[in-house]
């Protein structure tokens, strides 16, 4: 027994000795720098990276390595963020800042503020993330860390984009892109160009959207980044779909699909397949549209993607409506409505109500058409109210954040001034006091003037918005009455007369609808306006003319005041209507081409022509119709003259000063 006890004691002694020797060996042969480097390299596994970082931190504390202590705290914060443990991430980042202050390691502060910005962004606190990214920007600039400056601009841009401040976001993205280009960091540069394109898309500046998507695509091809290439191709394809350029949309979307086809039917296919289906729907090739939409539905169903399934059902409802299979269309649109209500997808619900209104109208069920027309109008008004309330909330949040920063800065300034005042003579105190009083008085005067002006502006905006709303609703009611009356008439001449008047109302209603939805401007974006107007005219004729007559619309990025836009819209309406009525008698195929281009700094050229039968000789000497009289009246209002060329169809041209 005594021998056993002595053996155990000897074994314990040897174990303790070996353990201490191993610890001494590790401490002497493993540096905190090496352990930190190993922890940093474990980006793909945040849990492992966090454990290695904690070990490196302990070694750094043991050896008193201040730089590695702060770096480890920053890295620990980053890993906690990736693991969505945001409270722990914030604690580590603030501790890193505190240690950097104590040790005067200013070069490491930027990383801490940047990490805090990422945490706030992940928590959807976008205003706070902008404040923290800006502090990171200052710290990186002071320590001449150019790459950090670039990523800070990028972070600010992403947060501003989340707040829908797209113009500000683009400004920060462009600053980031300039830095990444100079550094030769093409991966970040491609991402930044892609983000700029997204912002321009939200601002409906489609020329710039296409330009930056193509810049991103060029770099990603150079980097052989297949996932990025697929994303850029998909973005360009979707843009062409929005611009109603179906063939271009199908080309780019299909190429995007080819790149990721090795994934078999992954969830990433769904939106691309839906967009291809929608593009074929624009072309009127409903069977192909149905094929792609059904494939998208199968994949979305396999992955339980309820939102995408709802959107797909709405697409299928439109496809079956185009095929005049109204029973299937109603089945799919009802499913879309149920899911949209369940998931609170308001915009999809608005689209579904519009589809259902169209189905009932086409089937002659005017009672239900009126019901869903009212539902659509009510939901549209509700969406406008929600959007307005969101904007007010965002403005209030911005004001509070800005006020907090001002108070903090004012406190620092006051403290510095007090220290200086103590050392100054009495006469300087008097001068400063007088200056403060004068500044306060000027501030009060300026503030009162600002309040009065702001109150007047808000009153004018409210009145103008109400006016546009009333005009829009009245024109919509009249247009609806014309449409319902047309469907109940048998006399073709009477129907044509009513159809022409309904189209004229539509050309004006589109203007007032845009002014009502956006009360920040009195100008109209002509590309979107004329595209919607001509497609409405095409839909109103139906029959072979809707399927066989192609519309080619080429309108530059031109913004015009409402009065000029209305005049041009009425001219385009009359000339396009005449082309549909008279230009293609006996022809199987035809094309109507409208262009609006900027030819000089303050002059635009409107051209509209067709490749139809042209003006008959016996009609040239006849008195002009009411429509042509209206065109000439609008031309005089625009201080212009309508030029007519009757060669291989009819070609109209007009130069307009803006």
Closest CA to 250 of 276, 278, 286: 276
Quickly tell me which residue has 């290439």 as its tokens: 229
Query: Whole-model pTM?
Result: 0.53
DSSP string, 366-407: HHHHHHHHHHHHHHHHHHHHHHHHHHHHHHHHHHHHHHHHHH
Q: Check pLDDT > 60 for residue 65.
A: yes
Tell me what the mean pLDDT of segment 587-592 comes to: 80
Tell me what the mean pLDDT of segment 463-482 comes to: 56
On the CB side of 307, CA atoms within 13 Å amount to 7
Beta carbons within 8 Å of 657's beta carbon, 6+ residues apart: 602, 603, 638, 639, 640
pLDDT reported for residue 230: 87
Closest CA to 241 of 212, 266, 265, 209: 209
- What percent of the chain has pLDDT above 90? 33
Sequence spans of domains, the chain = 1-25, 522-658
**Other Cβ atoms closer than 10 A to 114:** 24
pLDDT reported for residue 537: 85
- Compute the distance between CA of residue 538 and CA of residue 179 in angstroms, rounded to an integer: 49
pLDDT reported for residue 22: 38
Beta carbons within 8 Å of 451's beta carbon, 6+ residues apart: none
Q: Check pLDDT > 50 for residue 438.
A: yes
Give me the architecture of the 522-658 domain, per CATH.
Answer: 2-Layer Sandwich (3.30)
pLDDT reported for residue 177: 94
Mean pLDDT across the chain:
80
- Compute the distance between CA of residue 120 and CA of residue 366 in angstroms, rounded to an integer: 52
Task: Report the Cα–Cα distance between both ends of the chain, in Å, rounded.
Answer: 111
Tell me what the mean pLDDT of segment 344-351 comes to: 88
pLDDT tens-digit readout, 118-171: 999 988 899 999 999 999 999 999 999 999 999 999 999 999 999 999 999 999
pLDDT band at 397 (very low <50, low <70, confident <90, very high): very low
pLDDT band at 213 (very low <50, low <70, confident <90, very high): very high
Mean pLDDT is lowest, of 221-235, 496-510, 633-647, for 496-510
What SS3 class is residue 654? strand
pLDDT greater at residue 80 or residue 410: 80
Tell me what the mean pLDDT of segment 199-220 comes to: 92
Tell me what the mean pLDDT of segment 418-441 comes to: 60
Mean pLDDT is lowest, of 362-371, 418-427, 539-548, for 418-427
Tell me what the mean pLDDT of segment 511-523 comes to: 67
Q: Residue 340 — left, alpha, or beta (φ > 0 → left; ψ -120 to 50 → alpha)?
A: alpha
pLDDT band at 4 (very low <50, low <70, confident <90, very high): very low
SS3 content of the chain, % helix, strand, coil (to 5): 80, 5, 15
Angle between helical axes of 326-343 and 346-362 (0-180°, round to 10): 160
pLDDT greater at residue 406 or residue 511: 511
Mean pLDDT is lowest, of 142-151, 387-396, 428-437, 440-449, for 387-396
Q: Residue 592 — left, alpha, or beta (φ > 0 → left; ψ -120 to 50 → alpha)?
A: beta
**Tokens at 52, concatenated:** 């290695």
Q: Under a CB-based contact definition with an 8 Å cutoff, are residues 628 and 572 in contact?
A: no
Tell me what the mean pLDDT of segment 581-594 comes to: 82
pLDDT reported for residue 28: 42
pLDDT reported for residue 445: 76
Q: Check pLDDT > 90 for residue 380.
A: no
- What percent of the chain has pLDDT above 70? 74
Tell me what the mean pLDDT of segment 31-56 comes to: 87
pLDDT reported for residue 485: 63
pLDDT reported for residue 580: 85
pLDDT greater at residue 146 or residue 10: 146
pLDDT reported for residue 541: 75
- Compute the distance between CA of residue 319 and CA of residue 145 in angstroms, rounded to an integer: 55
pLDDT tens-digit readout, 90-110: 999 999 899 888 888 888 888
């Amino acid at each position: 027994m005594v021998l056993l006890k002595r053996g155990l004691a000897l074994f314990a002694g040897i174990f303790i000795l070996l353990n201490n020797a191993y610890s001494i060996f590790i401490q002497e042969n493993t540096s905190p720098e090496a352990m930190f480097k190993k922890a940093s390299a474990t980006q793909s596994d945040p849990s492992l990276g966090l454990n290695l970082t904690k070990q490196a931190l302990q070694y750094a504390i043991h050896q008193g390595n201040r730089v590695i202590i702060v770096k480890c705290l920053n890295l620990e914060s980053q890993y906690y963020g990736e693991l969505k443990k945001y409270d722990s991430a914030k604690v580590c980042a603030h501790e890193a800042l505190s240690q950097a202050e104590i040790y005067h390691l200013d070069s490491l502060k930027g990383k801490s503020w940047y990490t805090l910005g990422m945490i706030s962004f992940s928590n959807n606190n976008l205003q706070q993330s902008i404040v923290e990214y800006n502090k990171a920007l200052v710290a990186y600039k002071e320590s001449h860390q150019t790459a950090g400056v670039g990523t800070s601009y990028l972070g600010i841009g992403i947060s501003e984009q989340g707040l829908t401040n797209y113009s500000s976001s683009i400004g920060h993205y462009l600053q980031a892109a300039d830095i990444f280009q100079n550094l030769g960091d093409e991966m970040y540069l491609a991402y930044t160009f892609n983000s700029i394109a997204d912002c321009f898309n939200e601002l409906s500046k489609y020329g710039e959207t296409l330009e930056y998507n193509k810049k991103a695509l060029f770099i990603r091809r150079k980097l052989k980044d297949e996932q990025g290439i697929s994303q850029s191709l998909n973005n360009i394809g979707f843009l062409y779909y929005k611009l109603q350029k179906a063939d271009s949309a199908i080309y780019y979307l299909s190429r995007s699909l080819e790149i990721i086809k090795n994934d078999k039917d992954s969830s990433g296919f769904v939106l691309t397949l839906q967009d291809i289906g929608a593009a074929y729907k624009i072309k009127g090739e409903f069977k192909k549209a149905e094929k792609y939409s059904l494939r998208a539905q199968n994949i979305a169903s396999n992955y339980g993607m309820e939102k995408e399934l709802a959107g797909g059902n709405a697409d299928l409802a439109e496809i079956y409506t185009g095929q005049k299979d109204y029973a299937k269309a109603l089945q799919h649109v009802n499913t879309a409505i149920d899911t949209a209500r369940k998931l609170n997808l308001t915009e999809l619900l608005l689209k579904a109500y519009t589809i259902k209104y169209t189905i009932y109208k086409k089937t002659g069920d005017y009672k239900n058409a009126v019901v869903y027309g009212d539902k659509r109008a009510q939901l549209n008004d509700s969406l406008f109210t929600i959007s307005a309330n969101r904007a007010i909330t965002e403005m209030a949040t911005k004001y509070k954040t800005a006020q907090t920063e001002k108070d903090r800065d004012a406190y620092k300034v006051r403290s510095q001034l007090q220290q200086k005042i103590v050392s100054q003579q009495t006469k300087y105190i008097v001068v400063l006091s007088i200056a403060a009083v004068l500044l306060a008085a000027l501030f009060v005067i300026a503030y009162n003037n600002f309040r009065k002006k702001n109150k007047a502006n808000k009153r004018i905006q409210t009145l103008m918005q109400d006016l546009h709303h009333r005009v829009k609703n009245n024109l919509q009611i009249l247009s609806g009455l014309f449409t319902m009356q047309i469907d109940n008439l048998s006399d073709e001449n009477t129907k044509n007369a009513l159809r022409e008047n309904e189209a004229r109302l539509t050309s004006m209603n589109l203007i007032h609808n845009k002014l009502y939805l956006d009360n920040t401007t009195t100008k109209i974006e002509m590309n979107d306006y004329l595209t919607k107007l001509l497609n409405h005219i095409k839909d109103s004729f139906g029959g072979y003319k809707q399927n066989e007559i192609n519309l080619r619309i080429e309108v530059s990025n031109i913004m015009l005041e409402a009065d000029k836009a209305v005049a041009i819209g009425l001219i385009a309406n009359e000339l396009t209507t005449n082309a549909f009525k008279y230009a293609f008698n006996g022809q199987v195929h035809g094309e109507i081409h409208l262009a609006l281009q900027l030819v000089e700094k303050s002059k635009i050229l409107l051209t509209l022509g067709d490749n139809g039968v042209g003006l008959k000789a016996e009609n040239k000497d006849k008195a002009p119709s009411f429509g042509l009289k209206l065109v000439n009246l609008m031309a005089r209002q625009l201080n212009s003259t309508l030029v007519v060329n009757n060669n291989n169809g009819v070609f109209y041209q007009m130069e307009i000063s803006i």
